[in-house]
Amino acid sequence: MPGLITVVEHGGDTAMTVLGECAPDTIFRVSSMSKPVVAAGAMVLVEDCVLRLDDPVDDLLPELAGRRVLRELGSELDDTVPAERAITVRHLMNSTFGHGMIMAAPGTYPVQAALADAGFPPGPPQPAATPGGDEVMRALGTLPLLSQPGERWWYNTAYDVLGVLVERASGQRLDDFLGERVFGPLGMVDTGFHVPADQLDRLAVAYSNTESGERAVYDPRDGQWSTPPAFQSGAGGLVSTAADYLAFARMLRDGGQGVLTRLSVRTMTTDQLTPRQKAGGGLVDGFFDTFGWGFGGSVVTRQDHAHKVPGRFGWEGGLGTSAQISQAEDMITLLFTQQAWSSPAGPKVYSDFLTSAYLVNR
């Protein structure tokens, strides 16, 4: 790792470690750790009764109305059946609305090429190459659903759509809404969808690995996050600091802190999937053996490791970050690195950090 920051908070004590290229106030691209943040923003609108979990989204997202669904995942794009039900807010929140990343080699299914051509390729976020939200929704509306709404969990795409839903329901840009209802109340001053020019010296260089295993720059300080994006990705577009994300994690651990109510936090951090919705899904083989999925993040359902405490909620960012919250253990762990993960399972530093954090604090 070129550099990293760890935070462990337990029983009222907080410890931060800063190594390598990083400083305590370094800004990171937190990628998929955007998902629980945007889900929390949507829950604010649910509490306001602007959104209702089991209402169809057709009025606000007409691009998703009257959908066709692939007869099977391997079907040709014109081999479809009508959707059996409308897509609801809940289907977006728990990632079962019918679209997402297909965890298979390119070319395995005909729909994969169509997804990539429409602007939904697998891989890390590309804010500079993504058009605005209306165009993203128009492109998504040209594709059949991969499965019937509410029937199967798919990763990622639901939270980009959820971000658009929040914008249309609130009448505000996503960054403005989150700034007013989440970031502002929590003092998250360095969290957003780009880094201002006068703060770019604090942005970590993002690295990935080449096919030969050598480290390469994925995004420099003046790269894709240095200017406001056309599309504010709820699935993976945020930048943040360890201090800011700790404030968000504390909000979830402590039951809302004025952003959400305790019962909304409990709903968000409870497994929201049925066994049928988990069948055939998951990021890696066996994912749902020990995890469920709440609104925007994973929930541990079975303890097969010291740090896998049932009820632990959180998620990772594929560009090298992780946040986990356990109310039962009064524990928050954050790992912020600038090295992209090379597999969904994460590097050894991730699992070793969690093991050390949970065992040392005992």
Grade residue 345 by pLDDT with cuts at 50, 70 and 90: confident
Question: What tens digit of pLDDT does each residue of 139-168 get?
Answer: 999 999 999 999 999 999 999 999 999 999
Q: Which two tokens stand for residue 324?
A: 């986990």
Long-range contacts, 258-262 (Cβ 8 Å, 24+) = 258/185, 259/40, 259/44, 259/181, 259/182, 259/185, 259/186, 260/40, 260/43, 260/44, 260/47, 261/47
Q: Quote the pLDDT of residue 362.
A: 58
Grade residue 136 by pLDDT with cuts at 50, 70 and 90: very high
The CB density around residue 149, as the number of other CB atoms within 10 Å, is 24
Asked if residue 112 has pLDDT above 80, the reply is yes
Question: What tens digit of pLDDT does each residue of 48-78 get?
Answer: 999 999 999 999 999 999 999 999 999 999 9
Q: Count Cβ neighbours within 10 Å for each residue of 12-45 and write b for 16 or more, e otherwise.
A: eeeeeebeeebeeebbbbbbbbbbbbbbbbbbbb
139 close to 129: Cβ distance less than 8 angstroms:
no
Region at 20 (left for phi over 0; alpha for psi -120 to 50; beta for the rest) = left
Q: Quote the pLDDT of residue 169.
A: 98
Grade residue 122 by pLDDT with cuts at 50, 70 and 90: confident
Nearest to 256 by CA among 5, 46, 100: 46
User: In percent, how much of the chain has pLDDT > 70?
Assistant: 99
Asked if residue 280 has pLDDT above 80, the reply is no
Q: What is the pTM of this model?
A: 0.96
Q: What gap in Å lies between CA 69 and CA 352, rounded to an integer?
A: 42
Higher pLDDT, 150 or 124: 150
Asked if residue 349 has pLDDT above 60, the reply is yes
Q: Which helix (H) or strand (E) holds 337?
A: strand 331-337
180 close to 153: Cβ distance less than 8 angstroms:
no
Q: Hey, which residues does 155 pair with through a beta bridge?
A: 101
Question: What tens digit of pLDDT does each residue of 78-90 get?
Answer: 999 999 999 999 9
For the segment 269-288, the average pLDDT, to the nearest whole number, is 91
Mean pLDDT of all residues in the chain?
95
Which structural domains are found in the chain, ordered by start? Answer: 3-34+186-360 (3.40.710.10), 47-170 (1.20.58)
User: Which residue is listed with tokens 């709440």?
Assistant: 294
As to burial, measured by CB atoms within 10 angstroms (0-12 exposed, 13-18 middle, 19+ buried), residue 211 is exposed
Q: Which helix (H) or strand (E) holds 135?
A: helix 133-140
Nearest to 246 by CA among 22, 1, 28: 28
Question: What tens digit of pLDDT does each residue of 219-252 get?
Answer: 999 999 999 999 999 999 999 999 999 999 999 9
Asked if residue 41 has pLDDT above 80, the reply is yes
